[in-house]
Amino acid sequence: MNILVINCGSSSLKFSVIDTQTGADLARGLFQELGSDSPNYKMESALLGAPNTGKLSPKAEHEEALDALAAFLASDALNISIQAVGHRVVHGGERFTSASLIDDATIEAIKACSPLAPLHNPANLLGIDSSCHHFPDLPQVAVFDTAFHQSLQAEAYLYPIPIELYKEHGIRRYGFHGSSHKYVTAEAARILGKPLDETNLITAHLGNGCSAAAVENGSCVDTTMGLTPLEGLVMGTRGGDVDPGILLHLHRALGMSIEEIDTMLNKKSGLLGLSQFSNDMRSLRQASAEGNSAATLAVSIFTRRLAKSISSLRATVKSLDALVFTGGIGENDWRTRSETLQRLEHLGIVIDPEANQNAGKDQNGIISQANSPVKAIVIQTNEELMIARETEQLVEKQ
């Protein structure tokens, strides 16, 4: 089945077309600056030579992006037909424990979760709305970033704050990056040769956003992100765990407004805030090698906190088969893996430095030594393929 996977931001639309039988990516692209004076796009396919780039008319929105996307897929050179559309939706609250066919009730429920993800869910709904309008005859499916973590028990998802905040306002830990954690969990079980429901892992998704999850018998039992994607690990521009008292202090003592604190936490912290010049691990590694001490410190804080979180997640699973690294940093930065694993020998992971430097390419991604009691594995994530597969499964059930 060919599935169009859509990931919408408020001014962007990212897509790929996945052939679920082969897992191949038939086409992909990105529309940016929608609603502005110069919306632009880049669409590409291995079936074509050069990428197709251009501008949409000023103020063009998601609807016009879908027109251009549909024309691209239907062009003589491509002629790709699609059988269903899978939408990435950031927050599914407690309502969605798995993907859901989109109908009026699903749309209402996604709207109801919007207060928990005010930047993301309304943008995701824009994409759903345009796509339902544009492809009225195709099944449309919502796949939630939070769904994989809905297996958390109350002891993992409740914050130790007054319980009525959960009961009346849904304030609890939800977790994110679910499609990525779920995808690499299935891949790790395959690599380890174990049934999924007997596989115990810690998965570390390290991209611009970073989160780790603890997986017991194939189900998620804990994760580092919480009510919002601000909690947990150090990220590109988000700091992860900080003393909540800092926020009160910034407001009371420094007079910072809620909006300023929001911007500081989401856009000015993490690797960027510490280094004061980049949120990008590659640039920081380079600067660090050239002697930039702020870059060195930022990276050290990143890996130290990562190891600390992984170590604490270990306490939430009864046993551990492997630690999985994924995401742009997890897949590509051997130094981050090495510096993190040096701190995790007590978990029974013995790194193979050579395999780590080539990301375990010769051994199915495994970067620990053959006799290491717990394995470390590098797995390339594929959130789009996960969304496409979940969409297909649901469509086939209908």
Could you tell me which residues are beta bridge partners of residue 19? 2, 24
Q: Which of residues 227-246 bind ligand ADP (CB under 6 A)?
A: 236
- Note whether 282 binds ligand ADP by CB under 6 A: yes
Q: CB of 3 within 8 A of CB of 388?
A: yes
- DSSP 8-state class, residue 361: G
Q: CB of 389 within 8 A of CB of 20?
A: yes
| Stretch of 193-201, 212-220, 226-234, 277-285 contacting ligand ADP, by CB under 6 A | 277-285
- Euclidean distance between CA atoms 230 and 224, whole angstroms: 9
- Note whether 329 binds ligand ADP by CB under 6 A: yes
- Note whether 218 binds ligand ADP by CB under 6 A: no
- Note whether 296 binds ligand ADP by CB under 6 A: no
- Euclidean distance between CA atoms 3 and 20, whole angstroms: 7
| Stretch of 27-35, 75-83, 105-113, 205-213 contacting ligand ADP, by CB under 6 A | 205-213
User: CA-based angle 310:359:146, to the nearest 5?
Assistant: 45
- Chain residue at closest Cβ approach to ligand ADP: 328
From the list 332, 338, 369, 380, which residue makes contact with ligand ADP (rule: CB under 6 A)? 332
The single residue of 25, 104, 145, 222 carrying the catalytic annotation is 145
- Euclidean distance between CA atoms 179 and 39, whole angstroms: 29
Smallest gap, in angstroms, from Cβ of residue 208 to ligand ADP? Answer: 4
**Is residue 195 exposed (0-12), middle (13-18) or buried (19+ Cβ within 10 Å)?**
exposed
| Stretch of 12-20, 161-169, 275-283, 296-304 contacting ligand ADP, by CB under 6 A | 275-283
From the list 207, 218, 240, 273, which residue makes contact with ligand ADP (rule: CB under 6 A)? 207
- Note whether 378 binds ligand ADP by CB under 6 A: no
Which residue matches tokens 């991604």? 365
- Note whether 63 binds ligand ADP by CB under 6 A: no
DSSP annotation string for 222-239: EES--SSTTSSS--SS--
- Note whether 365 binds ligand ADP by CB under 6 A: no
- Euclidean distance between CA atoms 387 and 22, whole angstroms: 15
Clarify whether 129 is annotated catalytic.
no
Q: Which residues are at the interface with ligand ADP (CB under 6 A)?
A: 207-209, 236, 280-282, 285, 327-329, 332-333
Catalytic residue numbers, as ranges: 145
